[in-house]
């Protein structure tokens, strides 16, 4: 049997045998396969646990993803932006070496390409073969409560990933270089970190740390009761040469926040709020942002969930009052609103009702409606992650627009996932004054992980 046929047999065997295994995690380095040491390894399990002597073992993994986008009004069509249809290709390969129960070395290579894009590639579209992740973990204590991680890594501090995310939607995920210290006990996780974001430089093995930015802080996530969780955090972002409006200067922004999430019977709820202080180019930073939402799941076929969410981020009412009030969402989850990149947390007021359905454990469907306005007419309309829409200061109108959205996700097997999103965006006065227009967006993703 040739190599291709052998690989195909392994994939098909794992598709059924892996159904009982845990789902892949949003951050692949969070996975552990030590349990396979005493198990019968079939299919791709032979790659997940490779004994290398003593207690040491190696795990190999990877991902191939194709994303297709079709949008007829990128950036709301401002300045005559033409329609575009293109593909984004992602390839990842990882190796995870556990030398013993105290020391671990993890590495991941990434290769990314855009295909058929009319517009210039975005920074997160294209990169040559490069180090996506590469770190060493040390567990210094016998109780395994502490972990020290040094190197290139991904950060996900909360499940929602509102303000610190792995940036899964775009082609290239968000990586940081630095140190993270974690203490995990029953019901409480403490994190302290000091990192710099990785700069994407097109080419092979040339993505450096961005020395003009430093991100550090502490984050505590604890369980107050069986169905109630509380997170509190203090984060600091330093950016040299940051730009807000027509002003460029050094930004020193401190973010203090808390998140409360839980479930009572059929009702789930979550609230997160953040205040920001600091300085920028001689101005005082006085900003805020947050979200409150919840849902009710009916005891009916397909488990209908009726949801409602309110999101807001402050804007700068007066650029001449010595205060910068524009909210900076730090390293936000781009797909938090939708995959079109048309909505940002900066200067935002949004309401989002939704209806979700789960025909099976593997299939999820959702329709939603997003109504969006500016928090203040004195600041711009912002695109993802926090980019000014050209011409949006031509009007002080607050109404930005509204969008009807449909999402579908199918976890075909443990390894294969399909996603589709369709969005119809209608613009209101603030975008019309900038020359924007209504538009449609469709996205499809095929993702294979092993």
86 CB neighbour count, 10 Å cutoff? 17
**pLDDT confidence tier of residue 38, bands split at 50, 70 and 90:** confident
Q: Contact 442/74 with Cβ under 8 angstroms?
A: no
Q: Is 196 helix (H, G, I), strand (E, B) or coil?
A: strand
C-alpha atoms less than 13 angstroms from C-alpha of 218 in its C-beta half-sphere: 4
d(CA 34, CA 46): 12
DSSP lists the bridge partners of residue 230 as 222, 260
Residue 221 pLDDT > 70:
yes
160 CB neighbour count, 10 Å cutoff? 18
CA dist list (Å): 190 to 5, 147, 186, 193, 296: 47, 10, 11, 10, 31
pTM over 0.75: yes
Q: How many helices (H) and strands (E) does the chain have?
A: 3, 22
Per-residue pLDDT tens over the stretch 249-264: 999 999 999 999 999 9
Q: Contact 278/287 with Cβ under 8 angstroms?
A: no
DSSP lists the bridge partners of residue 183 as 146, 190
Residue 16 pLDDT > 70:
no
Looking at residue 5, what is its pLDDT? 47
Q: Contact 83/73 with Cβ under 8 angstroms?
A: yes
Altogether, the residues listed in the chain come to a count of 450
Reported in sequence order, the residue ranges of 314-435 that DSSP labels E, i.e. its strands, are 323-324, 348-360, 363-373, 382-383, 387-388, 399-411, 416-427
Exposure string of 177-200, with b = 16+ CB inside 10 Å and e = fewer, is: bbbbebeeeeeeebbebebbbbbb
**pLDDT confidence tier of residue 20, bands split at 50, 70 and 90:** low
Per-residue pLDDT tens over the stretch 187-217: 999 999 999 999 999 999 999 999 999 999 9
d(CA 171, CA 179): 25
Share of the chain above pLDDT 70, in %: 96
Looking at residue 22, what is its pLDDT? 79
Q: Is 121 helix (H, G, I), strand (E, B) or coil?
A: coil
Using a 10 angstrom Cβ sphere, with 0-12 exposed, 13-18 middle and 19 or more buried, the burial of residue 67 is: buried
**pLDDT confidence tier of residue 169, bands split at 50, 70 and 90:** very high
Average pLDDT over residues 346-358: 98
To 10 degrees, the CA torsion angle through 164, 168, 174, 180? 50
């Amino acid at each position: 049997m040739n190599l291709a046929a052998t690989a195909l047999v392994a994939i098909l065997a794992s598709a059924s045998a892996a159904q009982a295994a845990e789902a892949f995690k949003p951050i692949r380095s969070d996975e552990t396969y030590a349990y396979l040491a005493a198990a019968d390894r079939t299919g791709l399990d032979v790659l997940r646990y490779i004994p290398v002597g003593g207690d040491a073992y190696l795990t190999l993994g990877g991902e191939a993803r194709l994303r297709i986008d079709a949008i007829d009004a990128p950036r709301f069509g401002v300045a005559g932006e033409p329609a575009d249809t293109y593909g984004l290709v992602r390839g990842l390969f990882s190796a995870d070496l556990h030398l013993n129960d105290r020391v671990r070395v993890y590495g991941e290579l990434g290769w990314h390409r855009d295909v058929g894009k009319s517009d210039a590639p975005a920074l997160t579209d294209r990169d040559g073969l490069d180090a996506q992740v590469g770190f060493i973990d040390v567990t210094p204590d016998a109780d395994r409560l502490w972990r020290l991680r040094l190197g290139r890594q991904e950060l996900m501090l909360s499940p929602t990933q509102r303000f610190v995310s792995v940036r899964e939607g775009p082609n290239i995920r968000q990586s940081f270089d630095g140190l993270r210290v974690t203490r995990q006990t029953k019901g409480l996780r403490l994190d302290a970190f000091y990192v710099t974001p990785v700069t994407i430089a097109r080419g092979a093995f040339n993505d450096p740390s961005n020395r003009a930015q430093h991100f550090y802080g502490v984050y505590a996530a604890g369980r107050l009761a069986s169905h109630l969780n509380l997170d509190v955090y203090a984060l600091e972002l330093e950016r040299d040469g940051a730009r807000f409006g027509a002003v460029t200067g050094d930004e020193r922004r401190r973010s203090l926040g808390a998140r409360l999430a839980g479930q009572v019977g059929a009702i789930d709820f979550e609230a997160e709020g953040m205040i920001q202080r600091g300085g920028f180019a001689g101005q005082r930073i006085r900003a805020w942002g947050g979200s409150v939402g919840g849902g009710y799941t009916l005891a009916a076929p397909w488990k209908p969930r009726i949801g409602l969410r309110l999101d807001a981020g402050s804007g700068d009412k007066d650029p001449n009052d010595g205060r910068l009030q524009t909210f900076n969402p730090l390293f936000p989850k781009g797909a938090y609103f939708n995959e079109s990149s048309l909505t940002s947390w900066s200067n935002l007021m949004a309401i989002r009702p939704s209806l979700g359905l789960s025909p099976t454990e593997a299939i999820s469907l959702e329709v939603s409606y997003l109504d969006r306005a500016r928090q203040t007419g004195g600041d711009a309309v912002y695109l993802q992650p926090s980019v000014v829409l050209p011409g949006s200061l031509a009007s002080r109108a607050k109404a930005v627009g509204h969008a009807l959205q449909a999402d579908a996700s199918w976890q075909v097997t443990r390894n294969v996932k399909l996603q589709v999103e369709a969005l119809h965006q209608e613009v209101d006065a603030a975008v019309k004054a900038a020359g924007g227009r209504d538009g449609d967006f469709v996205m499809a993703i095929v993702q294979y992980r092993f």
